[in-house]
Copies of this chain bind each other. A is one copy, B any other.
Amino acid sequence: MPTPRLKLDAFLPYRLSITSNMVSELIAGAYEALFGLRVPEWRLVAVIAEAEAISQQAIGRRTRMDKVTVSRAAIALADRGLIKRTPNPGDARSHLLSLTSAGEQLYAEVMPKALEYEKRIFASFKPAEIERLKIMLARIEEVVEGLEAEAERG
């Protein structure tokens, strides 16, 4: 008897990856073209805008981005005058990042575009469906975190 064939298209981790990459590429392309921002940079802008003043380490935890990625994005944004780095009074090794007024201005332009894209992509989804999708994604994350922890313990 031949090995039964897995239909890759029906394999959920694969489907999730394909869909996510399609969405990411679409949005990343638009941001790059419109604002010269790469994905990590845009994420930093959003997180800093929410937080007012936040360390790079905290950004890494919040966004699951590597500290190297965060560092590079922070340097790029600071070079462009979009964020400023003030010494962290509690810890001389770290800086607190906040938006400059130029950064605020960019953020004010970028954010509506982001929401517009989201709206367009999910235009055919009812609010309750979107809610269900978010909850499902959160549940998946929770399980994966558990499996990661399990793997670490051996």
Q: Which residues of A contact B (CB under 8 A)?
A: 3-8, 10-24, 26-27, 29-30, 43, 46-47, 49-50, 63-64, 104, 107-108, 111, 114-115, 117-118, 120-125, 129-130, 132-134, 136-141, 143-145, 147-148, 151
Shortest 6 CB-CB contacts between residues of A and residues of B: A20-B20, A8-B46, A19-B137, A22-B144, A3-B108, A16-B20
Bound-state Cα–Cα, A8 to B99, Å: 16
Please name all residues of chain B whose beta carbon is closer than 8 Å to the beta carbon of A7 when the two chains form the complex: 50
A3 shortest CB reach to chain B, Å: 5
Please name all residues of chain B whose beta carbon is closer than 8 Å to the beta carbon of A4 when the two chains form the complex: 111
A37 shortest CB reach to chain B, Å: 14
Please name all residues of chain B whose beta carbon is closer than 8 Å to the beta carbon of A120 when the two chains form the complex: 143, 147
Contact A18–B141 (Cβ < 8 Å): yes
Contact A12–B111 (Cβ < 8 Å): no
Please name all residues of chain B whose beta carbon is closer than 8 Å to the beta carbon of A151 when the two chains form the complex: 26, 29-30
- With A121-B147, A143-B124, A144-B121 already in contact, the answer to whether A46 and B6 are too (CB < 8 A) is yes
